[in-house]
Amino acid sequence: MIKSLKGQFILSIFVAIGFVYSTFSTIEFTGDERFLSVRVLFFFIMILSVFNAGLLSEKYIQTRKKK
């Protein structure tokens, strides 16, 4: 577990970028329905990880302003 806020912020940014990349690299516009549930799951995880990165960035910016 990463204790520092800066470390959590950086890790959440990398995770969000990874999920965005993996989600958009597996989009197929031709409509192969075999892995639809996996793609939907990764899409929702991507949304949650980007939301978490936004919350941590807000928290990091607020703690930087207090110093």
Question: Mean per-residue pLDDT for 6-30?
Answer: 83
Residues 6, 60: contact at Cβ < 8 Å?
Answer: yes
Question: Mean per-residue pLDDT for 10-21?
Answer: 90
pTM: 0.74
The per-residue pLDDT of the chain, averaged, comes to 83
Sorted by sequence, the CB contacts under 8 Å of residue 11 that are 6+ apart come out as 2
pLDDT in tens, 41-61: 888 888 999 999 999 899 888
CA 10 remoteness from chain centre: 11
Name the token pair of 16: 């969000």
For the purposes of burial, counting CB atoms within 10 Å of the CB of 36, is it exposed (0-12), middle (13-18) or buried (19 or more)? exposed
How many whole angstroms separate alpha carbon 37 and alpha carbon 61? 36
